């Protein structure tokens, strides 16, 4: 494994090499340069498995150093090396795209080796997931574009009464041949979705129900939807109307169905409005894909990522934290002995003990951030309360947790996913809303638990080109726990992010 060390302090560089050597890491080849320009030149000419990056270099300093390395070598894992009191700078570097950060002189060799290897694996998993996601998105866009084009062409032919019967027959034949060859379910319905005009044979394979039954009863496809997901599909038409009123023509939902043989499939449905030349909606079309395998793979990737977080958190809490506690105890004992002998160095030793205690608090906070729910006996509610307190202390906004009941999420992984959804929504409000107040609300509706993050900021802005990673991650985690995520403007301004948890995942207790 090739490691590029960009560090201008020769003493720190030598100490790092010795730490790796003490761990017997013979497979680590460390190449050291003192300037960022030299490091970028090496990255341009040869591949490296990981970059150890100091943020105080002769030709670059601060977070701009991280940005330049990411721009120059976006696929290279980065572990930032910070000073003993640059914990905030290290976390900011991780938010920019670094995989990890370590405090120089305070990370034992085992933690350094683990950080290098974990950063490499996390970056590899991130690149693999991004490539798979991009490939899937490209395929979906290509298929959807072709289908929308074909459906629009077909609708125009149907509505044009002056065309010859032969032309209409040939057009319908082409469409049916294409639709019958699709692995996804393709359907066309009336504008109010009360009558199904067409559905391809994939419906019988994915739903396990007959086309004849669907044509007779246009709502029979809902009978297969799991009870927890019925509210999602019952509101499809209403939500599509709202989307059309906002200038959008499509709507996507995910839900689960249970086939007659008892097997469960996860379905991604994309519905869209088909309009005539006057802009009136004449039909509703839809494409349904079985994404069971895709979602299972995504869950595995997420579980691996969370396992790495837990392992690192446990190491910080159990190993580094305990070692620092021992150092603090010995320092205080030494200070007492020196004080008894009237030594002037007793005060200095006490300062060292105080600094070690501060480091212990920082390690515990970092461990809690990596594993916010498991390390807390009080569970998810305590973690959300600490999140609100941390935001209020660290930023200019006031953040409060408002709930008259205790939120219970029995499954640890579901609790972690729920926490990160809320934290992402809160941090988005902190960074983008220009709000003064942020509220985390927990309530119950129709047997389902709702967690809302509301702010009094500038409100929702017009959509920009591209896809925000924060929202994508929240949607991704929501799918993993079967939750329904909504983002909308607040009644009195600001933005509301609402996550509706199914009863199988969460409940409220007095």
3-state secondary structure 444-491: EECCEEEEEEEECCCCCCCCCCCCCHHHHHHHHHHHHCCCEEEEEECC
Is residue 25 domain-shared with residue 112, that is, in the same domain? yes
Report residue 202: phi and psi, to 5°: -60, -20
Is residue 408 domain-shared with residue 487, that is, in the same domain? yes
Average the pLDDT over each of 107-121, 198-212, 224-238 and give the range with the smallest value.
107-121
Is residue 331 domain-shared with residue 408, that is, in the same domain? no
* Number of domains into which the chain is organized: 4
Is a pLDDT exceeding 60 seen at residue 377? no
Is residue 64 domain-shared with residue 163, that is, in the same domain? no
Last residue of a domain, one of 243, 269, 296: 296
* pLDDT of amino acid 376: 45
**Structure-block tokens of residue 344:** 């002037």
Query: Is 306 inside any structural domain?
Result: no
pLDDT in tens, 122-150: 777 777 787 888 888 888 888 888 888 88
Helices (H) and strands (E) in the chain, counts: 16, 19
* pLDDT of amino acid 14: 86
Dihedral, CA of residue 218, residue 222, residue 224 and residue 226, to nearest 10? 180
Task: Give the confidence band of 438 by pLDDT, cuts at 50, 70, 90.
Answer: very high
* pLDDT of amino acid 82: 79
Percent of the chain with pLDDT over 90: 23
With both helix axes pointing from N to C terminus, report the angle between 87-96 and 63-72 in degrees, rounded to the nearest 10. Answer: 30
DSSP character for 317?
A: I
| Mean pLDDT, residues 293-300 | 78
Higher pLDDT, 120 or 457: 457
Last residue of a domain, one of 100, 129, 158: 129
* pLDDT of amino acid 311: 66
Is residue 66 domain-shared with residue 181, that is, in the same domain? no
Is residue 65 domain-shared with residue 75, that is, in the same domain? yes
Last residue of a domain, one of 83, 107, 129: 129
CATH number of the domain to which 172 belongs: 3.30.450.20
Is a pLDDT exceeding 60 seen at residue 378? no
CA–CA gap between residue 148 and residue 144 (Å, rounded):
6
Is residue 382 domain-shared with residue 363, that is, in the same domain? no
* pLDDT of amino acid 209: 93
Is a pLDDT exceeding 70 seen at residue 313? no
Task: Give the confidence band of 287 by pLDDT, cuts at 50, 70, 90.
Answer: very high
Task: Give the confidence band of 161 by pLDDT, cuts at 50, 70, 90.
Answer: low
Is a pLDDT exceeding 60 seen at residue 257? yes
* pLDDT of amino acid 283: 92
| Mean pLDDT, residues 312-338 | 72
Q: What spatial distance separates the first Cα and last Cα of the chain, rounded to whole Å?
A: 54
Is residue 122 domain-shared with residue 224, that is, in the same domain? no
Is residue 98 domain-shared with residue 235, that is, in the same domain? no
With both helix axes pointing from N to C terminus, report the angle between 109-159 and 292-315 in degrees, rounded to the nearest 10. Answer: 160
pLDDT in tens, 51-72: 998 888 999 988 899 899 988 8
| Mean pLDDT, residues 68-82 | 87
* pLDDT of amino acid 455: 94
CA–CA gap between residue 449 and residue 435 (Å, rounded):
25
Is a pLDDT exceeding 50 seen at residue 208? yes
Query: Is 307 inside any structural domain?
Result: no
CB contact at 8 A, 193 and 243: no
pLDDT in tens, 450-485: 999 999 999 876 544 344 557 877 888 888 788 888
Is residue 286 domain-shared with residue 424, that is, in the same domain? no
Query: Is 138 inside any structural domain?
Result: yes
| Mean pLDDT, residues 263-292 | 91
Domain that holds residue 323: 312-371
The pTM of this model reads: 0.43
Is residue 241 domain-shared with residue 354, that is, in the same domain? no
CATH number of the domain to which 471 belongs: 3.30.565.10
Is a pLDDT exceeding 70 seen at residue 321? no
* pLDDT of amino acid 160: 65
Is residue 163 domain-shared with residue 252, that is, in the same domain? yes
pLDDT in tens, 416-434: 889 989 988 998 999 888 8
Average pLDDT, the chain: 82
Cα–Cα nearest to 136, from 476, 486, 462, 482? 476
CB contact at 8 A, 508 and 442: yes
Neighbours of 368 (CB within 10 A): 19
């Amino acid at each position: 494994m090739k490691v590029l060390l960009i560090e201008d302090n020769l003493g720190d560089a030598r100490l790092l090499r010795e730490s790796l050597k003490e761990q017997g890491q013979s497979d680590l080849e460390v190449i050291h340069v003192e300037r960022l320009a030299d490091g970028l030149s090496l990255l341009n000419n040869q591949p490296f498995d990981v970059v150890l990056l100091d943020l105080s270099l002769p030709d670059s300093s601060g977070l701009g150093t991280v940005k330049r390395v990411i721009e120059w070598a976006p696929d290279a894992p980065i572990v930032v090396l910070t000073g003993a009191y640059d914990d905030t700078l290290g976390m900011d570097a991780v938010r920019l795209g670094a995989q990890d950060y370590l405090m120089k002189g305070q990370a034992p060799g085992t933690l350094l080796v683990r950080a290098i290897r974990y950063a490499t694996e996390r970056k590899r998993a991130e690149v693999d997931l991004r490539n798979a996601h991009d490939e899937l998105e490209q395929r979906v866009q290509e298929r959807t574009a072709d289908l929308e084009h074909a459906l629009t062409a077909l609708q125009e032919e149907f509505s044009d009464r002056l065309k010859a019967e032969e032309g209409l027959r040939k057009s319908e034949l082409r469409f049916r041949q294409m639709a019958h060859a699709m692995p996804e379910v393709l359907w066309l319905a009336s504008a109010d979705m009360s009558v199904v005009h067409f559905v391809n044979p994939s419906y019988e394979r994915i739903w396990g129900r007959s086309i004849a039954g669907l044509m007779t009863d246009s709502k029979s496809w809902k009978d297969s939807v799991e009870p927890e997901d019925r509210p999602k599909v019952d509101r499809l038409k209403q939500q599509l109307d709202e989307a059309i009123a906002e200038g959008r023509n499509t709507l996507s939902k995910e839900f689960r169905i249970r086939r007659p043989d008892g097997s469960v499939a996860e379905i991604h449905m994309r519905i869209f409005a088909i309009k005539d030349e006057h802009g009136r909606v004449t039909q509703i079309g839809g494409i349904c894909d079985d994404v069971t395998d895709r979602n299972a793979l995504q869950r595995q990737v997420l579980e691996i990522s969370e396992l790495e977080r837990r392992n690192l958190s446990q190491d910080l809490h159990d190993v580094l934290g305990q070692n620092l506690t021992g150092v603090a105890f010995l320092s205080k004992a030494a200070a007492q002995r020196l004080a008894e002998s009237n030594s002037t160095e007793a005060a200095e030793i006490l300062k060292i003990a105080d600094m070690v205690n501060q480091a212990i608090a920082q390690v515990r906070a970092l461990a809690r951030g990596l594993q916010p729910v498991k390390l807390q006996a009080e569970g998810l509610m305590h973690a959300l309360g600490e999140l609100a307190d941390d935001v209020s202390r660290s930023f200019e906004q006031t953040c409060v947790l408002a709930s008259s009941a205790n939120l219970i999420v029995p499954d640890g992984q579901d609790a972690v996913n729920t926490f990160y959804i809320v934290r992402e929504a809160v941090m988005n409000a902190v960074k983008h809303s220009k709000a003064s107040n942020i509220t985390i609300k927990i309530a119950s509706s129709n047997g389902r638990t709702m967690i809302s993050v509301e702010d009094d900021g500038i409100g929702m802005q017009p959509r920009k080109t591209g896809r925000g990673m924060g929202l994508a991650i929240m949607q991704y985690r929501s799918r993993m726990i079967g939750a329904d995520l909504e983002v909308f403007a607040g009644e009195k301004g600001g933005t509301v992010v609402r996550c509706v948890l199914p009863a199988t995942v969460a409940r409220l207790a007095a």
